[in-house]
Structure 1
Amino acid sequence: MGEHHLPPEPTDHHKGGKAVHADDLKPARRRRYGYYGSTGSGALSTICSVLLLLILLAGVIALVLYLVYRPNSPAFTVTNIAVYSLSNVTGPSAGLPAAGARAPNSVAASFQCALVIRNPNGRSSARYDRLTAYVVYRGEAITAPAEMPPLVQDPDSAVVVAPVIGGGGAAPVPVSPEAAAALANDVSYGVVSLRVVLLGRVRFVSGPFRSGWRSMYARCDMLVGVRKAPGNVGAAAVPEAPLFGNPSCNVDI
């Protein structure tokens, strides 16, 4: 039989050398170090910090300006009221469509109300526009809206307006039967609860700052003393009707 020869052993087997791994045969990756990377990150961080500081500073300035120039709502006070006419009206004058039909309930009323408007803002003037006033009884209007001229008011000042509401040839205002009956009863008693409503818009001006136009809704509740007219047709004309208690006014803007 022929002789079998074993393959020769690696020469480094007896030298204690380590085996070569496949990954060691791959070309080494070069690590690149950016010399300007840290400088760019620092500049970006500085810019962000400056922008944040400016935003915070602008917010603080805006808050201070708002607290200093923040306008307060104007205040209204009723000083007196004159009752020129106040009576129920039925029949053709109230708009009866045909003879024999049931007459609608209407009220013919005319007043002149003195209102004191006070601007409590010491740094802002007030501008009023599109002002209208009317009188309400038991939640129902008993006069047509009366237009008022625009008004300019200085800071921390008061002005008196005295619009004539109703009358002047205006048609009677339709009301519910319940309101007509209650009005006749109150007139006979001598005291009528009325509400004067003032609608419009207002804006405030303080130096270079101007607010936008805001809707205004003011209402003043009062108890008015009236005298019964001769012939039992309503309240007699009273140049200055007495006011009972302190009329209260509320303003929504």
Structure 2
Amino acid sequence: MSVKECTHHKNKSQKLLRKLCSFFLILAFIVLLTFLITWAILQPRKPRFTLQDATIFSFNVSAPILLSSNFQVTVASHNPNSRIGVYYDKLNIYASYKNQQITYFTGIQPVYQGHHDTNVWSPFVYGTNVPVAPYNGQSLSEDQENGSINLLIMLNGRVRWRVGRFISGRYHIHVRCPAYIPFGNKPNSAIPGIVVGTGIKYQLSTRCSVNV
């Protein structure tokens, strides 16, 4: 084969490669532009969670490393989007103290949340003889004796987004709700409790942080 023929094939391959590169660049630009336009139109925002109250039925550190507790919390979730619906496919709630889970998981029923809708859940969060780290057990006992305790009510699960007939894949959602609970109904308590049956109910109205 002559040098001229080899040069011809080489130039042809280079032209084809340049065309392919141009095609993929244009395609990437179109996809990016479509995404930006869609985002600008929909203006997606994360759901907003609020911990409204907590009713304490029992909370007892029976040994330095064992905790038994039973309380009910009310959590509200609001969808601030006007064009996006939310599927809560899986959602578990539990209590945490100083980065340690101190109750069992409680599952929340799957639900679809429409535009600007609000869902309110009142699950029981509990645990019987749950092992905790020795330093946390001692700290829990001291906090309870002092009349107040700072917990985190955690919700973890998976959500999907719905726009018209389009439904996205599943995304992880993590919710952290600070819960300051003053045990004992002390006169100087900033959050007095209300006796509800065998428990004491505390109004919290705490805004939660949400990561998706």
Q: Using structure 2 for the length normalisation, give the TM-score.
A: 0.76
4+ long deviations beyond 4 Å: 54-59
Counterpart residue number, 1:26: none
1:181 has 2:148 as partner: no
1:222–1:248 CA contact under 8 A, matched in 2: no
1:238–1:190 Cα change, 3 Å: farther
1:250 has 2:184 as partner: no
Aligned partner of 1:141: which letter?
Q
Counterpart residue number, 1:100: none
1:213–1:189 Cα change, 3 Å: same
Separation in structure 2 between the aligned mates of residue 145 and residue 211 of structure 1, nearest angstrom: 26
Counterpart residue number, 2:189: none
CA RMSD of aligned residues (A): 2.7
1:106–1:180 CA contact under 8 A, matched in 2: yes
Return the offset for 1:110: 1.1
User: What SS does structure 2 have at the residue aligned with 1:131?
Assistant: strand
* Structure (1 or 2) with the greater strand fraction: 2
Separation in structure 2 between the aligned mates of residue 210 and residue 173 of structure 1, nearest angstrom: 39
Larger Rg computed on CA atoms: 1
Q: Which has the higher contact order (CA 8 A, sep 6+)?
A: 2
Return the offset for 1:171: 3.1
Give unmatched runs, 5+ long, in structure 1.
Answer: 1-46, 91-103, 229-235
Q: Using structure 1 for the length normalisation, give the TM-score.
A: 0.64
* Structure (1 or 2) with the greater helix fraction: 2
After TM superposition, the structure 1 stretch with the greater mean CA deviation from structure 2, 219-228 or 139-148, is: 219-228
1:116–1:160 CA contact under 8 A, matched in 2: yes
What percent of counterpart residues are identical?
A: 26
Deviation by residue 1:23-55 (Cα, 9 ceiling, x = unmatched): xxxxxxxxxxxxxxxxxxxxxxxx99xx79x85
Deviation by residue 1:151-205 (Cα, 9 ceiling, x = unmatched): 1111112111111111xxx532101121111111111111110100001011110
Out of 19, 36, 39, which is 1:63 matched to?
36
Deviation by residue 1:44-73 (Cα, 9 ceiling, x = unmatched): xxx99xx79x85666544421232225211
Out of 241, 244, 249, which is 2:202 matched to?
241
Return the offset for 1:106: 0.7
Separation in structure 1 between the aligned mates of residue 78 and residue 34 of structure 2, nearest angstrom: 29
